[in-house]
Amino acid sequence: MEKEEIRDAAIRLTMMPRDTNAHGTVFGGIILSYIDVAGGVEAVRHTKHERFVTVAMKEVIFHEPVFIGDLVSFYAETLRVGNTSITVHVDVEAERFGNKGQKVLVTSADLTFVAINENREKVRIGS
């Protein structure tokens, strides 16, 4: 029997009725906001720098809907670290509620964050 690959999600949460439209699917904007959060978590984890702002999120295409009760995982991976910026890839996966572990890839995105200081000024990562 093959072992399922265990990945450490940056964030994982169950979608609730407040996150949905009248058709029972989660608003795309909710997913986008969590992608942003997951990317920020990875940026801080990877660099140990505490403050970042989002400057770009590349094209996001939704391949599958997300429904009430789905357990949604946001997996983040660092692609590149520059002097003041970091690029992070985020995959979004939904585990269908009541379907015994059926998982679908919802979407993915590449985000770029810039390191800032307490005065909101751009700084070198690590300073």
CATH code, domain carrying 30: 3.10.129.10
Please report whether residue 74 resides in a domain.
Answer: yes
Quote the pTM value. Answer: 0.91
Q: Report yes or no on 37 lying in a domain.
A: yes
Tell me the pairing of strands 103-115 and 71-81: unpaired
Domain hosting 47: range is 11-115
By the 8 A CB rule, do 64 and 94 touch?
yes
**pLDDT digits 0-9 by tens, 52-71:** 999 999 999 999 999 999 99
49 within a domain of the structure (yes/no): yes
Q: Is the residue at 50 inside a domain?
A: yes
Residue 111 lies in a domain: yes
Q: Is the pLDDT of residue 93 over 60?
A: yes
Question: Quick one: average pLDDT of 71-79?
Answer: 97
Q: Percentage of residues in the chain with pLDDT exceeding 70?
A: 94
What is the domain count for the chain? 1
For residue 5, what pLDDT is reported? Answer: 58
Q: Does residue 3 form part of some domain?
A: no
Question: How far apart, in Å, do the first and last CA atoms of the chain sit?
Answer: 47
Helix ranges restricted to H, 1-127:
28-47
